[in-house]
Amino acid sequence: MTHPPVPLGTFPTPVEPAPRLAATLGLGPEDLWVKRDDLTGLGGGGNKVRKLEWTVGAALAEGADTLVTTGAAQSNHARLTAAAGARLGLDVVLVLRGGAGASRSGNLALDGLFGARLAWAGEVDQAGLDAAAAEVCDRLRADGARPALIPFGGSGTLGARGYVRCGEEVRAQVPDVRTAVVALGSGGTMAGLVAALGTGSVLGVDVGALADPAAAVAEFAAPLTAQEVTARELRVRRDQVGAGYAALTGPVTEALRLAARTEGIVLDPTYTGRALAGLRAAVRDGSVRPGEKTVFVHTGGLPGLFGHAQAVAAAEEGAGAY
């Protein structure tokens, strides 16, 4: 049974033209539009709000009084789960990879501001993180709480329903869109867009969060569309991962500067920076072409910039002396 979503965001988000960025990338001045899902409203904004409307809606319908979720230390999903809990009067426990003390900035600062409690799982793989979250839920139940475990990244078929709605917004706002470009992390965002727009109209840029993100997208998208969705038919670029999920690459550094200096738009070093670097590479190799409408889906993540020491240093170095 699918429970109704709980309202958490401000929709539809705007779509803005980006002619100066388009020219820099090698596109025409009317070819590139930015879907501002960084402006979803709750907790600093970002794509996870759309997913949380569905996953938290289900948790509330099942009588939960505590939200538990997992992620990396600078997880945008964890931050917005904390914000959703604060808005709805729910306790939140975030089970994070790594250990306490490595950073106090970026999303972690906001996690604390929203009143979330942190459980550090150590340097574990996804299975270890899931096990740590299950243990936290067991302890909460033993203490009399009613926890709901929100999936990693908010991703799954249920959370992806939020991005079906986003895809419908894109189609209404840019009817002749040829390609929607989006960061591909845990898979739910791209899955919803694929369900709404079709496999050929969505380009996902892998950020290195999963070993096989295309398989996750296909799994989440298939129940949302009458058409078969397979991993091999998806448009996925895997050339922007670099040394790994948390590593800043040269192309991403350049992408952050391009967006900021041409359109005054701030991207983050893990997700949207990689997505723009992937779009730039796609224009260069001809898989995204001038004369066709392209929508760059800005999924947010600004607080993560301030928790990424390399990205902060690179940004500061870009300021010239007067």
Give catalytic residues, as residue numbers: 75
Task: Calculate the alpha carbon distances from 94 to 10, 16, 41, 69, 149 in Å.
Answer: 24, 34, 21, 5, 10
| Identity of residue 282 | A
Instruction: Determine the Cα angle at 195 with ends 189 and 198, to 5°.
Output: 110
3-state secondary structure 164-224: HHHHHHHHHHCCCEEEEEEEECCCHHHHHHHHHHCHHHEEEEECCCCCCHHHHHHHHHHHH
| Beta pairing class for 202-206 and 147-149 | unpaired
317, with CB counted inside 10 A (0-12, 13-18, 19+), is exposed
